[in-house]
Every structure is written in structure tokens, then in C-alpha cells.
Structure 1
Amino acid sequence: MDEKRRNDRFVVEGIHCSIMSATEVEIINMGIGGAALIANGRLNIGKDYTLRIEEKEGRTLSVRGTIVWSVLSDSRNNARGETMPLYTAGMRFKDVQSTQMTEVIDFIKHHKKSPEKRVIVRFDITSPEKATLNFPFSYRVKKVSLGGLLMETDEAFTVGDTLSMELSLGKDDTIEFLGRVASCLSISDSDLERYDVGVEFIEMSDRSSTALKKFIESL
């Protein structure tokens, strides 16, 4: 592959890039079937998230679930004095393995505010050290090269930030990489708030690099 082809970006269709994001949440109550949460961002009904709980003793609990309801419930000021909306949402746990169920029951027993012994009910929960919801955002990729990609997003990205990302090449072929945000430009001809975000590949496994090279050679 000559140098020009290595640096050229090729227009692509049907390719998406996923970025794993996380937001801190407060657990209101919890049972073996799900939990009620407060988050500083909207949680989409029907979308799957992973609830990760870190306890003071160093133990962690991760359980996957689906948001079944979500409402705007309050607001608070952030560190910059900006008003941020708060959403209350209900999560239904899914695909919980037996070991995870044991961990969920153990967590409830240690953090419940009520002396009620049954675990089939939901309990108000004392806050653990940290609780986060992890979820992937998927964006349409417009161009790709061996050195990076251009994707379209509905939010601005900070130039210089590094992000763990996945690039779907179709046919169940996905590559993982560490990317650096190289540019973020507003799309002026869009009625909605949209951005062209350029990402530079800065770290990628040999397998992913080979898969990307084969994909580009096929264009």
C-alpha cells in the first residue's frame, strides 16, 4: 500500500464507532429484580446499561439491566454553577447469573435501611462508596483511514481527550483501539446540533491493525 493510500481517508457507509461512557448515579432502592436510581443525565427507556457498584471494603458488583422508566425529577448546580437536570429511573436486572444474584442479595443485606429480612421486596439503600452506569454510545463513521476516522456526533468532544473505542467493520468484525480526539467542528448545514469529530488512532492491537488494513484494502 503506497503512502498516499495509507494517509487517505475513504468514505464509508454502514460503519459505526462505539465509545464506552459512564455516569455516576445514586441508588434509591434495590431488590433482587432491579433498582431505582438518580442520574445527572437522561437514561433511555429500553436501553441496556451496566450498573457498577464499588463498596468501601474494595468489593465491586456489576449487574446488567434495562431501563423501564425514566422521568425528569429535579435539578442541581454543578461545580461551575450550571443547572443540571436530575432524572429518576427504574432498572430491571437481566441475565443475572447465580453468583451475581448472591452478590446482589449480599449487597442489599449490608446496605438496607430497614430491618426487614425478606429480600423479595425492595429496600431503601444507604449509598455505597461509588455507583456508576456504564453504556456505549454509537456514532456513524463517515471516513476512515489507517491513521484515524471521522465520525458524526450529536455532542461536542474535547480536542486532546483519549477514549477507549470500538469500530464495527461489518460482518461481526469489531476492532478495539485507543483514540485521541484530533478535531471537533460544528456541522453548519444541519438544523440539529451535529459535529464532525476527527479521531486519531494511537494504540491498537496487531489483530485489530491487520483487520483494519484488510478492510481499507477492500475499499
Structure 2
Amino acid sequence: MGEMDREKRRYRRFHLTDVRGNLLLSLDARIRDISLSGMALESSSRLDPHRNYSFRLGSAEAPVRVTGTVVWCYLQGTRRLDSGEVVPVYQAGVRFQDVLSEGARDLQRFLAENAIITVETRLFGRFSVREGQTVRLDSAAEFQTLAISGQGMRVRTATPVESDATCDVEMELNGDSLRLACQVERVSPAPEPYTGAYDLSLSFVDLEPAQHAEIEAWVARHLARSEERDA
């Protein structure tokens, strides 16, 4: 038995199908052009058309936060990283929401500080930005648990998530909240009759041994309460 198998056997696995939560996902993208009504992005991850995202532009010290809906997204090609790895390149179009809100004034400030002004942009209102400007996308995807242990969990969600992605998991059981950092180990289509959904295998990251035990205790409390209700 390998070291990884022995590590997994250390933790009890609970089949838990009555708990729901959210996958909190973040990814970085490059801004191709932007206006007060929307922007075009380039990313190594596919964005879901018709889905809403929260966007953070600018510096971490003074971020500009806007929400928007992905209108279109397609695979443009591939790109080779410095490490030699080949990754996909997606391009996407986003329409901003609440363009008359406080966030719009922050967006105007961002454009004033970062936009490259040309005759064409004065006419058409879409601006290129200075090289290296990126945007962070935040979104939440609801899931249903399938199984959980002190090592990780399996969940089912309608949102496609890429293998090796990192995310936070947020759950609540009988008033007890739990938020954990995870890595997506495996993604597979859900079986019938859940066509269109995805089953994800997640491993918990950066947990101390005491935290693994805390997760098991958290689940055990939920199961005990469920048994009391059913008695």
C-alpha cells in the first residue's frame, strides 16, 4: 500500500447526501479591452455564458469591484507557458450590471488611470489598457455533498470546474459553519439521471491534523442530530 493510500485510510469516510454548500471560485484573466458597459477578457479557464461573476480590477490596495454577465466565450487557441506546459486560451465578452451605481464611478476612475486613449476609442468608447492589467473573477457554485472525510470530499454541482483548480468550500450544518480550502483532484460527468451535472473529488489543503479531526467531529454531530430527528 502506498503512502497516499495509507494517508487516506487514516480518516473515516461519511456518505453524506443531505448537505448543500457553495464552491467559492476565483481565477485571473487578462483584459483585452474595456468600456463602461463591458469588457473582453482572455483566460486559461472557460467562463460560463449567461453566468454572473464578481470582478476585481486594479490594485489589491484599492480594487474596483463590478458585477457582470458573460455574454459569449470561445476557445481561441493554446499558449505555451515558460514552464513548457501548454494551456488553453479562451476569449470572453462581459456585460456589466448596475452601470449607474457607485461601482461605475470607480470604473471611470480605473479607466482614467489605465486606459490607452486613441482616436478610435474616443469614437467607439472601448479602451485598451496598459500591458499587464488583469482582473480577478469571483463566483459561487452550489453543490450537494456525496461523501466527506477528514481528507477531502466528493460533491455534485451543475457548474463545470477544471481539474487542479483551487477553491474554497463553504457549508453549514445545523448552525455550524465550515469553510475550507480545497483542490479539485478529479472531475467526471454525473451518472444518470443527473445528466449535465459534474461529480468533483476535492482534497482539503493546508490543514493541520487537529483540523482533520475537527471535520470528522463536525460531520459526526450532524449525523447524530439526524438520527435523533428520525428516532
Q: Deviations over 1:32-62 (max 9, x none)?
A: 1211111111111011212111339x42111
* Aligned position for 2:93: 90
Specify the code of the residue in structure 2 equivalent to 1:106. Answer: R
- Alpha-carbon distance, 1:21 to partner: 2.5
Tell me the residue number matched to 1:178: 180
8 Å CA contact 2:147–2:155 kept in 1: the answer is no
SS in 2 for 1:218: helix
Matched length: 202
1:3-57 CA deviation, whole Å, 9 max, x = no partner? Answer: xxxx86543335334332322211111111211111111111011212111339x
- TM-score of the two chains, using structure 2 as the length reference: 0.65
**Scaled by the length of structure 1, what TM-score is found?**
0.68
2:162–2:187 Cα contact (<8 Å) kept: no
C-alpha separation in 1, matches of 2:41 and 2:176? 32
Counterparts of 1:62 and 1:49 in 2: how far apart (Å)? 11
Task: Tell whether 2:59 aligns with 1:55.
Answer: yes
Instruction: Please say if 1:166 is aligned against 2:133.
Output: no
Counterpart contact for 2:180–2:204, Cα < 8 Å: no
Q: Which residue of 2 aligns with 1:3?
A: none
Q: Hey, what does 1:20 align to over in structure 2?
A: 24
Tell me the residue number matched to 1:113: 116
Amino acid at match of 2:40: A
- Structure 1's 137 and 121: CA in aligned 2 closer, same or farther, altered over 3 A? same
1:43–1:67 CA contact under 8 A, matched in 2: yes
Distance 1:127 1:217, change over 3 A: farther
SS of the residue corresponding to residue 178 of structure 1 reads: strand
1:132: how far off? 1.6
Q: 1:107 to 1:185 in 2, by over 3 A?
A: closer
Verify the 8 A CA contact 2:79 2:89 in the aligned structure 1: yes
The answer to whether the 8 Å contact 1:139/1:151 transfers is: no
CA drift of 1:130 comes to 3.9
More helix by share: 2
CA distance, structure 2, for counterparts of residue 112 and residue 185 of structure 1: 40
Cα contact 2:31–2:133 (8 A) shared by 1:
no
Report the residue type matching 1:216 in the other structure. Answer: L
Q: State the alpha-carbon separation in 2 of the partners of residues 26 and 114 from structure 1.
A: 19
Supply the RMSD in Å over aligned alpha carbons: 4.4
Question: Does residue 1:78 correspond to 2:81, yes or no?
Answer: yes
How far did 1:180 drift?
6.1
Gaps of 5+ in 1: 1-6, 204-208
